[in-house]
Structure 1
Amino acid sequence: MNHAIAHMDLDTFFVSCVRRDNSQLHGIPLIIGGGDRGVVASCSYEARYFGVRSAMPIRMALKLCPDAKVVKGDYDMFSKLSHEVTEIIQQRVPVMEKASIDEFYLDLSGMDKFFGCYQWTREIAEEVTKETGLPISFALSVNKTVSKIGTGESKPHGRLEIKETQIKPFLNPLSIRKIPMVGETTFQLLSRIGIRTIKTLSEMPVLTLQQMIGKNGTELWKKANGIDETPVIPYSERKSISKEHTFSDDTMDIFAMRSLISGMAEQLAYQLRKEKWLTSTVVIKIRYANFDTETKQQKVAYTAADHTLTKTALGLFDKIYTRRMRLRLVGLRFTGLVHGSHQMNLFEDTEELMNLYQTMDRIKNRFGSEAVGRAAGFHYPAKISESPQKA
């Protein structure tokens, strides 16, 4: 059976959401972000013309495009509209993977027997726009890599089909930057030896690529040749992530418990960012020595930031721990999760904070989650009997 994989991507999703309810914002350079010291979460094509891009400091963006209008992002609205789009697509296809808040993969393999896969995908895209007012692009091909690259090349309002015989002619002239796994470091490394197009990369010996960039060399070569066996993973929304710690001896040590919670919050926040989640609800759980258990929760603006989540968690702990009685267990849970990227959605954060989180995450990715952290969480036990929970 021939594979038919479609990639669908909502065009400038945050911008489109804001414009949907305000026609005066159409046709003008628009930046979604927060405050003069914040970063660009998204920007319109009119702003991109001047060199504005996501994750750029807003101060720099306004120097490039002084006439741009800055609008604060409303993540509750973005989440709601993303859920509406997800439901529309999910009802129409056998297998759907939600790759991010505005990006979807559809496995339509075998459906060409009943209905042309391209026509089916086009009608889904038209229904999304009709029902939500949001523009969406798509590309249809034989695997996820080619269809994703195709969507990027067809935007905005793209409708593209890349048949198996067209894959090499389509990919060959494109920059290696178009391959999803090629970041700035890999691009610079390959560019220095003259590898700038996908065609040149596809003709490189696999062993040479492995020596240059390590274990990812083979995967990169496959993608350059239009090969990708990665399956479309059926969508199921994760509900929460959590950690619990049961003390070996019941305790009333407030300092130790607050330090423990700070450490939990930092580790869970790093996990959110690593897996590209944002949370909207913080829940603290305590269990007294007599086994009485209490929980308290608080809503927050969607975030994956340590400082916000730690402050909220500690505030909840101070409110819930009211008895002068020893505790046997403390737990922390982040729930109300949605897909989202830390650097794109912290509308209130400054450029300095963004740089701090990105630097800390790079260190943790390389040396482990406990390689660096805040002093407040230093007393967080590294080797304790925790119960990480996923729902």
Structure 2
Amino acid sequence: MKKNKSIIHLDLDSFFVSVERVRDSRLENRPLIVGGMGDRGVVAAASYETRKFGVHSGMAMKVARQLCPQAVVIKGDSSVYTAHSHLVTEIIKNRVPAFEKASIDEFYADLSGMDKFFGIRKFAHELRETIIKETRLPISFGLSQNKIVSKIATGEAKPNNELYIDNGEEKAFLAPLSAGKIPMVGNKTFQILMNLGIRKIETIQQMPVEMLESVLGKNGRTIWKRANGIDDAPIVPFHERKSISAERTFNRDTIDMVQLNATLVGMAENLAYQLRRGNKLTSSISVKIRYSDFQTVSKQAKIPYTSADHILIPKIEELFKQLYSRRLLIRLIGIKYTGLVGGHYQINLFDDSEEMLRLYNSIDKIRSRFGEHSVVRASTLGGASVGRSENPFNGEPPVVLAHRHF
């Protein structure tokens, strides 16, 4: 007989907004928007007080100001939010045997079996209380037998509360909720469901799975299972060392700075694209140099969570300049991004415009369709990165981006 699990999902409420209120208590209970300051900026986070006016993350700041002119607008500081995220992570890590850090402000943990020692509900409640006490950040959680139901329960518990779904009660809990609350049901899918007359999860529960699958393809089966509270996705343990990397060994040892810089930039942008494609952010970068005498040196730097080329590349170039001091011929250079967590590009919206956001989305779509190297920077043409010799256009040249675009 399969043993029931107890999975908790914790989510910091309006994380960026909450951090700003910890920093300045005068912002408590006031409508607050965090994001880019200019009219072309984008909303990264909005307080609950602004949401009743229609303000939401991803919205143009100009529109948000018009909808809620009384709101206080603050330019976000990703380094501050990264520090607070680390603080919450440490609290959870010290109290839970294994947990998953799903994003900068979202966590899962398997509490199965802990009732033998503490009582799961009591432990979960005390964990939340400890986070609130030590960080002063509001946090909500859902507790059920799987990740999906717990995540939905967290959404229903918000703001700053907790919700427990007993084993066997998953379908009853989900039934009256909007179908749009099922993870992976975005606006487009929800519109398709509404066109079919499906608004509540209960309707999906009553449908044959084949019917939903015929409309939505393989995603239809996943949505049907989630609507019925069925999910066997495991906890993916969080390890600070999780990383992606790239290296380039030159055919001839070199001190050609144009070639070296082009190769660095090429690797940096390719890895950044891999982050965005995998919905990941990095919080630590390192550069490695191997000289012609085979001595290998490296330098690492902590950074605010990001997946943006225009933030990562200058940091990589800066590390290389600090590291390359011997003036010997270089045999190999490498880059590594570590401390990866799940997360959208949203964390970078504080400095960016809608145009920048759209540019990244457009470039990534081209790369997804035609290959990783179908769009390159002008500065990388002087040196081949890993795999760059493979032309995804079968002889057609890649799109070249001039510096001014970034």
Q: Amino acid of the residue matched to residue 7 of structure 1?
A: H
* 1:360-382 Cα shifts (integer Å, max 9, x gaps): 22343455433434343355346
* 1:228-248 Cα shifts (integer Å, max 9, x gaps): 011222222235432111122
- Whether contact under 8 Å (1:2, 1:110) holds in the other structure is no
Q: Does 1:17 align with 2:16?
A: no
Partner of 2:273: 270
Q: Distance in 1 between matches of 2:34 and 2:310?
A: 22
Q: Distance in 2 between matches of 1:369 and 1:190?
A: 34
Q: Does 1:352 align with 2:355?
A: yes
Structure 2 counterparts to residues 304-383 of structure 1, below 5 A? 304-317=307-320, 326-335=329-338, 337=340, 340-378=343-381, 380-381=384-385, 383=387
- Whether contact under 8 Å (2:267, 2:385) holds in the other structure is no
Q: Does 1:154 align with 2:144?
A: no
| C-alpha displacement of 1:227 | 0.1
| C-alpha displacement of 1:26 | 0.6
Partner of 1:227: 230
Which runs of 5 or more structure 2 residues have no equivalent in the other structure?
A: 390-406
Q: Distance in 2 between matches of 1:260 and 1:303?
A: 21
Query: What is the SS of the residue equivalent to 1:104?
Result: strand
Query: What is the SS of the residue equivalent to 1:290?
Result: coil
Task: Label 1:201 to 1:359 Cα distance change in 2 as closer, same or farther (>3 A).
Answer: farther
- Whether contact under 8 Å (1:52, 1:64) holds in the other structure is yes
Task: Label 1:279 to 1:97 Cα distance change in 2 as closer, same or farther (>3 A).
Answer: closer
Q: Amino acid of the residue matched to residue 17 of structure 2?
A: V
* 1:237-262 Cα shifts (integer Å, max 9, x gaps): 23543211112233454443333222
Task: Label 1:301 to 1:79 Cα distance change in 2 as closer, same or farther (>3 A).
Answer: closer
Q: TM-score, normalised by structure 1?
A: 0.88
Q: Distance in 2 between matches of 1:318 and 1:141?
A: 51
Q: Amino acid of the residue matched to residue 33 of structure 2?
A: I
Partner of 1:389: none
Task: Label 1:94 to 1:352 Cα distance change in 2 as closer, same or farther (>3 A).
Answer: same
Q: Amino acid of the residue matched to residue 187 of structure 2?
A: E
Q: Does 1:163 align with 2:166?
A: yes
Structure 2 counterparts to residues 126-205 of structure 1, below 5 A? 126-205=129-208
Q: Does 1:209 align with 2:212?
A: yes
Q: Distance in 2 between matches of 1:112 and 1:293?
A: 50
Q: Distance in 2 between matches of 1:317 and 1:114?
A: 51
Which runs of 5 or more structure 1 residues have no equivalent in the other structure?
A: 386-391
- Whether contact under 8 Å (1:303, 1:346) holds in the other structure is no
Q: Does 1:67 align with 2:70?
A: yes
Partner of 1:34: 36
Q: Distance in 2 between matches of 1:232 and 1:318?
A: 40
Partner of 1:3: 5
**For this pair of structures, how many residues does the alignment match?**
385
Q: TM-score, normalised by structure 2?
A: 0.85
| C-alpha displacement of 1:295 | 4.2
- Whether contact under 8 Å (2:308, 2:348) holds in the other structure is no
